[in-house]
Structure 1
Amino acid sequence: MNKVVLVTGANSGIGLALCERLLSDDVEGFQLCLACRNMQRARVARAALLASHPSAQVTLLQMDTSSISSVIAASKEVKLRYNRVDHLYLNAGIMPSPHLDIKAFFKGLFSSNIITMFATGEGILTQKDCLTPDGLQGVFATNLFGHFLLIKELEPVLCHGGRTSQLIWTSSSNAHRSAFNVEDIQHQKGTQPYSSSKYACDLLSLALNTHYNKQGLHSSVICPGFVMTSLTYGILPSFPSFLWTILMPLFWLIRMFTNTFTLTPYNGTEALFWLFKQKPESLDPQAKYHSLTSGLGNSYTQPRKMDIDLATSEVLYEKLLQLESDMRKKLKERKEGLAA
């Protein structure tokens, strides 16, 4: 059986660009599964991939990582289709209702902090979160917990037969320790749920290596850099398109002075694609692998140590296990109530 590659959030942006790169490199070498929330968009994405690679094996899987029942149902489907999953790209993510501090933004434009501001969004971005039907914070559920539950559900096909399997998280340069509180892992009390969730992904990746490496499962984290995707455009939803056109030359200019401005989804997938080629056991569990692009447009991957520690990662892991247990119990009680 060919290798199986599953990508969450695969119908646009970084996820779709990754699928295109993988297929361009090796059409016959693996089975590609696009796990998406919106199946209409997923079908359009699949059609586009098959138009370029008609002999590729591309299937669709409906999954909403913000929904516990959706993740469990999708996981059952995966286990019915495949007896193994070799590469699991944990890419789906949201940044709902982002708010840009206009005053801080324009102040930053004329300061020495301009590059850091654009590259990380630190100091200028906040978001308004909301609860899911399961009663979880939406960003936490979508970006972190749904993926954690997916990994737990897929253990039989991820840890199987002495093989090596790989988890690859799409994190962010916006993952800041200052936004995360281990006593408030869902970020109920803060205004930076996206940053908190991405920092939690970094921590969780380290904990997963601690608990699963002996079973052949290895986890890594990447940062795509500053990429123009729907997530980026959503920061300024009412921003006139001509202003984005005006800003783009500025972004290209800034790229002459920093390598973090990857700008295109294709460049942003550089680290994701590079990791696909590596032996997972040879990678540094405490490094985040960054997609970088030179001023001349040459892309490359570089590891950088994450601002994480083993003790905090273990506390987060234990809290997620407890939350998993609690949520499964609630789901069971809900089903029993409906059946009564």
Structure 2
Amino acid sequence: MAAPWANVPSHEQYFVLITGANSGVGLAICQRMIDDFLATRSLHSHLILIPTTRSAKKSSEAIQNIRSYLAKTAKSKRLASRTGFGYYPQWATDRVHVVSIELDLCKLPTIYKAASRLVNGDVRDPTGVVANGDALSIPRLDAVIFNAGYGGWSGLDWSLFIRQTFTDGPAQAYTFPIFKAALPSSTLPPQDITGEKGPESQPALAEVFTANLFGHYLLAHQLLPLLSRSRDAAEPAGRIVWTSSIDAEERHLSMDDMQGFHSAAPYESSKRVTDLISLTADLPSVQKVSASYFNTPHLSPAQQEKKPRFYLTHPGIVCTPLFPLNAFLYFWYYVAMYLCRYLGSPWHVVETYLAACSAVWVALATQEELDSLHAHRVKWGSACDRLANAAPKKSEVEGWGWEGKVEDAEAIRSDTAEGIQRKLTGRKRDAVELTEEKIIRFEEDAVACWKELESLRGQWEGILGAEGREDQKMASEQLWGGSR
């Protein structure tokens, strides 16, 4: 059966994949994506959402939740007023399609299988609504949002919590905490692989690092046939939208332990690596090691003249079950987060829908807007004012600043932005001025991370990649000749 968007002009189609979309921020990204797409795009455009989960059951539940939200949105006065007299909600619901794919970022064979299904046209709706559940072909991906992740925390160090609350104040303490306690990062068990090479040949993988970074890193590379474009393609290359954290400081990462096997903060360590590779991917000093990642022999040179670009976001401070608290503490956690917002913190968005703001904006903004802002050089955080008006905000990255440019204290104070967009609003109290030397070190650390990641990818592709390489070859032949 043909896809419901098959007869829609290519420029009126928009394909977005979101990992970890069955709950929390991932589900909210799907919801906000629907709202913003229907409110801003052509009345003839179609949105194809591809949430990923770890099982068919979770995919079905996620799709049903997304469709329920879509039905409510379609009845909103906002959409009715945009369309005009004689509006029918079904017009909106008919323009949003939800299919799904299953993968587990810590089980690498499932990543290759999911990528193969996407590239080779075997995406389905497990609920049977879209095309009766038959296999559907995805001609391209316009954006992939890497939201899925694992915190690996065990709780709070209460003595540090009390001390930092009183010394730094709630807004600073609950934005840049030093009191989170983490479990030691577990080493993943050997991957379930059939073949000549046994478990002893597999490089060790840290659980938090793989769930937050490396699984996504492999997935994006395998999706290059859907993310890359020919030079004459009408659509820009796909966007790879990474999710970081506001608390991804330099101190959390040891360059001798990039995976965080021995880190006291493996989550924050993985997010620091995310910052390093995302902000530097196409810098001349880094391309000598990153270029191989954006090239694949399974694409013809013409197919990869327009390469996908990394973008970096974070959700702000949001209350989700990612942090382990009992019901009593979770309630006071909510109260404390709202207090911080009232005290003027722009980062305490608290609610998942507001937290989705930055990722959705990066995914849906026009390429011209992103390019004019040099958006690939910025870490975009979800922020809001006291009245919950949310907007993407530039975040300071240690060793990089806001845009990879040196700014002295006077320049920062003279910032002409207003409200929550001011650089000093929400800035870490003890942040130090950026120097050229620190930028050079940031780029050097990025080169080291890229080298290790590419080496690790090469090792795992040697173990896992034989079947994937054949799939990609077939996909390249199928896709060649299109206008992507």
User: How does the TM-score come out when normalised to structure 1?
Assistant: 0.89
Identity level (%): 24
* d(CA) in 2 for partners of 1:176, 1:291: 18
1:57 equivalent among 97, 101, 106: 97
Structure 1 residues 60, 86: CA separation in 2 closer, same or farther (over 3 Å shift)?
same
Deviations 1:310-339 (A, max 9, x none): 222122111111111112223369xxxxxx
> Hey, what does 1:330 align to over in structure 2?
463
Q: CA deviation at 1:80?
A: 1.5
> Hey, what does 2:347 align to over in structure 1?
260
Q: CA deviation at 1:198?
A: 0.6
Structure 1 residues 194, 84: CA separation in 2 closer, same or farther (over 3 Å shift)?
same
8 A contact 2:279–2:378 mirrored in 1: no
Which segment is superposed worse, 216-225 or 278-287? Answer: 278-287
* d(CA) in 2 for partners of 1:65, 1:9: 10
Structure 1 residues 244, 142: CA separation in 2 closer, same or farther (over 3 Å shift)?
closer
Matches within 5 A, 1:77-88: 77-81=117-121, 82-88=138-144
8 A contact 1:207–1:310 mirrored in 2: yes
* d(CA) in 2 for partners of 1:313, 1:274: 26
Matches within 5 A, 1:276-291: 276-279=364-367, 280-282=370-372, 283-291=374-382
> Hey, what does 2:300 align to over in structure 1?
none
Aligned residues: 330
Letter in structure 2 aligned against 1:50: R
Q: CA deviation at 1:36?
A: 1.4
8 A contact 2:153–2:183 mirrored in 1: yes
* d(CA) in 1 for partners of 2:332, 2:262: 37
Q: CA deviation at 1:113?
A: 4.3
Deviations 1:46-92 (A, max 9, x none): 10111233432101100111121111111101102223111010111
1:169 aligns with 2:242: yes
> Hey, what does 1:189 align to over in structure 2?
262
Structure 1 residues 66, 247: CA separation in 2 closer, same or farther (over 3 Å shift)?
closer
> Hey, what does 2:15 align to over in structure 1?
4
Matches within 5 A, 1:1-340: 1=10, 2-26=13-37, 28-53=45-70, 54-55=93-94, 56-81=96-121, 82-133=138-189, 134=191, 135-162=204-231, 163-210=236-283, 211=291, 215-232=306-323, 234=324, 236=325, 239=326, 241-257=327-343, 258-275=345-362, 276-279=364-367, 280-282=370-372, 283-307=374-398, 308=400, 309-331=442-464
Which secondary structure state, in structure 2, belongs to the residue aligned with residue 109 of structure 1?
Answer: helix
* d(CA) in 2 for partners of 1:42, 1:118: 33
Q: CA deviation at 1:123?
A: 4.0
Which blocks of at least 5 consecutive residues in structure 2 are unaligned?
A: 1-9, 39-44, 71-92, 122-137, 192-203, 284-290, 295-303, 401-441, 467-484
8 A contact 1:94–1:231 mirrored in 2: yes
* d(CA) in 1 for partners of 2:381, 2:465: 41
* d(CA) in 2 for partners of 1:214, 1:114: 49
* d(CA) in 2 for partners of 1:14, 1:278: 23
Deviations 1:167-217 (A, max 9, x none): 111110121111112221111121211000011111121243344597332
Letter in structure 1 aligned against 2:307: G
RMSD: 2.3
8 A contact 1:171–1:223 mirrored in 2: yes
Structure 1 residues 215, 251: CA separation in 2 closer, same or farther (over 3 Å shift)?
same
Which secondary structure state, in structure 2, belongs to the residue aligned with residue 219 of structure 1?
Answer: strand
> Hey, what does 2:406 align to over in structure 1?
none
Which segment is superposed worse, 270-279 or 211-220? Answer: 211-220
8 A contact 1:206–1:310 mirrored in 2: no
* d(CA) in 2 for partners of 1:111, 1:268: 27
User: How does the TM-score come out when normalised to structure 2?
Assistant: 0.64
- Judging by fraction of residues, say which structure has more strand: 1
Which blocks of at least 5 consecutive residues in structure 1 are unaligned?
A: 334-340
8 A contact 2:341–2:348 mirrored in 1: yes
8 A contact 1:67–1:141 mirrored in 2: no
Letter in structure 2 aligned against 1:12: S
Q: CA deviation at 1:99?
A: 3.2
Q: CA deviation at 1:41?
A: 2.4
Letter in structure 2 aligned against 1:327: W
Deviations 1:228-285 (A, max 9, x none): 11213x2x2xx2x234334433322221221110000011111112212242434333
> Hey, what does 2:301 align to over in structure 1?
none
* d(CA) in 1 for partners of 2:112, 2:392: 34
Which secondary structure state, in structure 2, belongs to the residue aligned with residue 42 of structure 1?
Answer: helix
